[in-house]
Every structure is written in C-alpha cells, then in structure tokens.
Amino acid sequence: MNILLEFFVVTFKVLWAFVLAAAKWLVRPKEKSVAGQVCLITGAGSGLGRLFALEFARRRAPLVLWDINTQSNEETAGMVRHIYREISEEAAAAARQATGDGEEEVLPHCNLQVYTYTCDVSKRENVYLTAERVRQEVGEVSVLVNNAGVVSGHHLLECPDELIERTMMVNCHAHFWTTKAFLPKMLEMNHGHIVTVASSLGLFSTAGVEDYCASKFGAVGFHESLSHELKAADKDGIKTTLVCPYLVDTGMFRGCRIRKEIEPFLPPLKPDYCVKQAMRAILTDQPMICTPRLMYMVTFMKSILPFEAVVCMYRFLGADKCMYPFIAQRKQATNNNEAKNGI
C-alpha cells in the first residue's frame, strides 16, 4: 500500500514538473545576479569563451580566464577591462548625480578585476596547479564554465592517435579535472554553478567526427551524472546547466554544410545569439539549453525512431555527410602547410 501511495505522489510530482516547465516557457523567470561572484571560464581566448567572458563582465562578475593561447587570452582580458571601466564610469556618474540631488551617495564598483592564466586543460597536473594558484591569488570560484574545446577534423582511420587523445582530453577529461578542483568548496558552501558547454553532437552524431562526438557524448554523460549526484546529496544550492548548441559560426567547423535547400531554415548559429541564449539559461538556473529549440525534437526523434529511419532523415537533410566538406578543407590546409614548410 505504501509503494502504491508513493507511486501516486511521484506521478503528481512528474506532472507538476511538466506544469512548471510550461510556465517557464510562458513567463520568463527572473535572472539571478552574479555580481561579485568569481567566474572561471576555460577556453576564454576566442569563440564562445570570449563572448561568455564579456557577458559575465557586463553583469559585474570578477573573471578568471584560462586559455592555452596567452596572447588571445590577454586580448579577451583587455575587452573585459574596457567593460569594467565603463561600469565604473557609469557608477561614478550615478554617484555624482545622487550627491547633487541630495540623495545617498552610490558607491562605484571597485572590485571588478580580471585574471588571466595560461593553462592546457588537457594536462591534469597543469589544471590542478593552476587551480591552486587561482585559489591563492583570487579566491574561491563560484561559477565554473567548462567551455574549452577542440576538433581534429579527420576521418577516423586518417586521424593520428595523439589527436584523438587530445580531443578526448580537452573536450571531456578536462571537465573532470576542473570540477574536482573547484567543487569541494562549492559543496562546503552549498553554493555555485557548473556550466558544461557541450554540443548538439553530444546528443546525436554524424559521420566523420567520431572523436569529437565521443568527447561531447562523454561531456554530456559526465554533466548529467554530476547533476544527479548533487541532487542525491541534497546540494540544491549548486546549480548545473548543460549547453548544447547546433553548429555555431565560429570557424571551428568552417565548410560544414547540410542540404542547400534546407540550410536557409537551419543556418549556423551566430555566436552572440548562442551565448545570449546560454546566459539566459544560466542566470535562470535552467538545467539544459539546446539552441535552436529544434534540437530538442531531433534528440527526441533519435531516441524513439528505428536506426534506419534516422539514417533516412539524415540523408534527406544532408546531415549524413555534412562534415565531409569541412574535413576536406582541413586536409587541404594541412597539405598546404606541409608543402610550405617543405615536409
């Protein structure tokens, strides 16, 4: 009798979860503040990582930027400092106006700083050593954005083993090392947010990018298991957000093409749009965001349709060989570099 009663309670909770999810689609939830909370972003030197840094800076979060490329990371830091200066100037102007009107003085935000670290997240010890430096020089991290990613751009049998290993280490294994480095303090405080920037290719796959798909599937699996572990430990103060965008026009997959008749209806995402959608999900504690929303339907259909039906859909959309032009461009570029260097 107890299990029957519990079954009805669970059924009600499941239905209520659907109601709440629908309500959030209709009424936009209020965004939380990350002002003053240290945010660490991996792969911050370019692409989505740089845009995430700028978005968090606009929300007055002190930033810790990690990237393997020191120069590009410093360029991002320069952009962040420009935003901080604008915020300080606006705050100072508001303070002067408030004083002139006889109101209580508004103090400007003086603690906005950005810290840069050169770190190869594929190397475990490098991650742990850099994380320790961050704790000593900056403090504890409240928001962790695992964004760093690479792609080899080779067919499986043509891909050197070391590139396969690097793809797995950067896109998947690094999430383990960064989370292990910063999660303990989050658990102690029961406060924090872990963001996993994965891909739609972590939910469904295509031909020619086996290593990339495997690494993103691994990142998705890691994130989901971690989310369940936090729930099981009743650590409701630690939020998680999984970001799974469709192809983003950052140049990472330059040349990738689906069927030309379909492409106008499903073009590559603009990076700014992708990050703004992700930020909205992060700041409203949304567990998962797929961009565009069509990706939810594709994932659902892949789960229920027979494999041959999925293959038919891929061929109709031109998604079965969409990566082949990209791989061909990568191969041509590699051959040109080798010829240039006299190899």
Torsion of the alpha carbons at 182, 64, 118 and 281, rounded to the nearest 10? 80
| Under 8 Å between Cβ of 43 and 149 | yes
Domain count, the chain: 1
Closest CA to 248 of 230, 266, 229: 266
Report d(CA 280, CA 32) in Å as an integer.
Answer: 10
| Dihedral sign for Cα atoms in the order 209, 225, 241, 298 | positive
pLDDT for res 103: 53
**Scanning the structure block, which residue is given the tokens 């994932």?**
299
Amino acid at 300: F
Whether residue 103 lies inside any domain: the answer is no
Supply angle C-alpha 210, 256, 220, rounded to 5.
Answer: 40
Closest CA to 277 of 9, 28, 26, 17: 28
pLDDT for res 105: 46
- Active-site residue set: 212
Average pLDDT per 10 consecutive residues for the chain, totaling 343 residues: 78 79 76 96 97 97 97 97 92 77 50 94 97 96 97 92 96 98 97 97 92 97 97 96 94 86 89 96 96 88 90 88 88 63 52
pLDDT for res 334: 65
Residue 124: give its domain's CATH number: 3.40.50.720
Radius of gyration of the chain (CA): 22
pLDDT for res 253: 86
pLDDT for res 108: 44
Q: How far is CA 192 from the centre of its chain?
A: 16
pTM value is 0.90
Whether residue 93 lies inside any domain: the answer is no
Whether residue 92 lies inside any domain: the answer is no
Report d(CA 295, CA 147) in Å as an integer.
Answer: 20
Report d(CA 169, CA 122) in Å as an integer.
Answer: 5
| Under 8 Å between Cβ of 116 and 77 | yes
Whether residue 95 lies inside any domain: the answer is no
Residue 145, domain extent: 31-84+108-338
Whether residue 253 lies inside any domain: the answer is yes
Whether residue 236 lies inside any domain: the answer is yes
Whether residue 146 lies inside any domain: the answer is yes
pLDDT for res 102: 56
Whether residue 91 lies inside any domain: the answer is no
pLDDT for res 24: 72
